[in-house]
Amino acid sequence: MPQRAANRQRDRENARDLRHKRRVAKSSPGSKRLVAFGALALVVLALAGYFLWPVLKPKASAGPGTVVVQMSMSGFDPNRIEARAGQPITVRLVNMDSQFHTDGGGWHQFASDGLAVDVKVPPLKTQEFTFTPDKSGEFEVYCDVCCGGRENPYMVATIVVKS
């Protein structure tokens, strides 16, 4: 008789374990939501990496006489550049904005009437140019492509040319 009771107890425990395993094996709505959220997060991270890589990838270091200027809807960084009259200066423009901006499609401009400079940079691209300022003074640089045009107080910079 004690053996029979022990067998019944073991059978009950086995049945309980089997029910538990079946319950765990079935997907609950909460676990389905968690998997869907994880998949969505993975897709968002992959897309963010794809679109941000051109901007965030390591860039070659600027050589002597080269100034790197980042352009975005927030303005130019740095917004003050120093140069010497009669000496060439190379400017590497890095457009940080994407083509999804509704104002100008992400394009930016680096223009100075006083220095006869006008360069337009596509979204998420880098463009480099060299010029030689021939006179000293302070010269305004602006972007007239987007961001409210020349009147935008953030899309201006100054090139200070010393003799």
pTM: 0.61
Report the alpha-carbon distance of residue 90 to residue 144 in Å, rounded. 21
pLDDT at 60: 44
Which H helix or E strand runs over 111? strand 108-112
The domain limits of the chain are 2-56, 66-162
How does pLDDT run across 46-71, given as a tens digit for each residue? 887 777 766 565 454 455 678 999 99
Neighbouring residues of 38: CB distance < 8 A, sequence distance ≥ 6: none
Written as tens digits, the pLDDT of the chain (163 aa) is 577 777 777 777 777 776 766 665 555 667 778 888 888 988 888 887 777 766 565 454 455 678 999 998 888 999 999 999 999 999 999 998 888 766 677 889 999 999 999 999 999 999 999 999 999 999 999 998 877 777 777 789 999 999 8
Q: 89: closest CA among 72, 110, 108, 106?
A: 110
The domain over range 66-162 is classified in CATH as 3.10.20.30: no
- What is the SS3 assignment for 12? helix
